Amino acid sequence: MTNVPRHVAITMDGNGRWATAHGVPRAAGHRAGLKPTRMAIQECARRGVEALTLFAFSSENWNRPPDEVSSLMTLFVDSLDREIDELHANRVRVRFIGDRKLLSVRLQARIAAAEQRTAANDGLKLQIAMSYGGRWDIVQAAQELARQCSSGSIRAADIDEARFASLLQLAGVPDADLMIRTGGEQRISNFLLWHGAYAELYFSPVLWPEFDVAELEAAFAFFGGRERRFGLTQAQLAAGEAMKVREP
């Protein structure tokens, strides 16, 4: 497939609405969302995508009803235990981004074990955003830079985009090329505010539990048809200068 994005980011939206439409508890909707999650990982790996970031639980999701949050946390633990063997066998490197201090000790332990086990894998880079918010990500990087300035280890003049990016949760991962959101909503909802600066945005009306290979292919086809100029003119793009801007 031509024009394959290096980094795909997905906001997996619509589990709760799918559950309501099917007359089942919201927790059942979240469980139904595991199937398209596996599909997305497998298909991105198969197509040669370098990195996939999945928005699993946002900073704002902590404000949901306690029973729903509890069921989600249990689902995350169970899913990690069930899926990590296959992910590791397929050379997927698993990494979690977000404020994990808010997670249970049990889940933090599972996360650390999954990251350690897959750290040397050279396949798809899989980032799972849990307790994550783009504003939080930027603020915690700014705080670290402020500490470094205060200690005298760097000067304010030393701060540039590269240094700032090195302190973000996705340090070392290329910027998102394609951001997909399912469920019909057309907003980014505080997801990858820095790394999504030049992403192509694809909004699917399909609720996440019903997101399938055909829908993913439609998103990839949309991306393949975009002219990505990164602020340049068409003439510069034709001369091959866009990649010079994009590459670090």
pLDDT at site 77? 87
Answer left, alpha or beta for residue 3, where phi above 0 means left and psi between -120 and 50 means alpha: left
CB within 8 Å of 200: residues ≥ 6 apart? 5, 177, 178, 179, 222, 223, 226, 228
Known catalytic residue: 61? yes
Q: How far, in Å, CA of 212 to CA of 58, rounded?
A: 23
Average pLDDT for the chain: 92
Q: In what order do the strands lie in the sheet with 200-203?
A: 93-97, 125-132, 51-58, 7-11, 178-181, 200-203
Query: Which one is catalytic: 3, 13, 67, 177?
Result: 13
Q: Where are the domains of the chain?
A: 7-134+174-246
How much is the average pLDDT of 132-156? 97
Q: What is the pLDDT of residues 182-234, one digit of tens each?
A: 999 999 999 999 999 999 999 999 999 999 999 999 999 999 998 776 666 77
pLDDT at site 54? 97
Query: Quick one: which of 162, 84, 89 has its CA closest to 123?
Result: 89
Q: Are 226 and 213 in contact (CB under 8 A)?
A: no
pLDDT at site 242? 56
Q: How far, in Å, CA of 243 to CA of 248, rounded?
A: 9
Q: What is the pLDDT of residues 5-36, one digit of tens each?
A: 999 999 999 999 999 999 999 999 999 999 99
Three-state SS string across the chain, please? CCCCCCEEEEECCCHHHHHHHCCCCHHHHHHHCHHHHHHHHHHHHHHCCCEEEEEEEEHHHHHCCHHHHHHHHHHHHHHHHHHHHHHHHCCCEEEEECCHHHCCHHHHHHHHHHHHHHCCCCCCEEEEEEEECHHHHHHHHHHHHHHHHHHCCCCHHHCCHHHHHCCCCCCCCCCCCEEEECCCCCCCCCCCCCCCCCCEEEECCCCHHHCCHHHHHHHHHHHHCCCCCCCCCHHHHHCCCHHHHHCC
Known catalytic residue: 190? no
Q: Are 175 and 196 in contact (CB under 8 A)?
A: yes
What CATH class is the domain 7-134+174-246? alpha beta
Asked if the model's pLDDT at residue 248 lies above 60, the reply is no
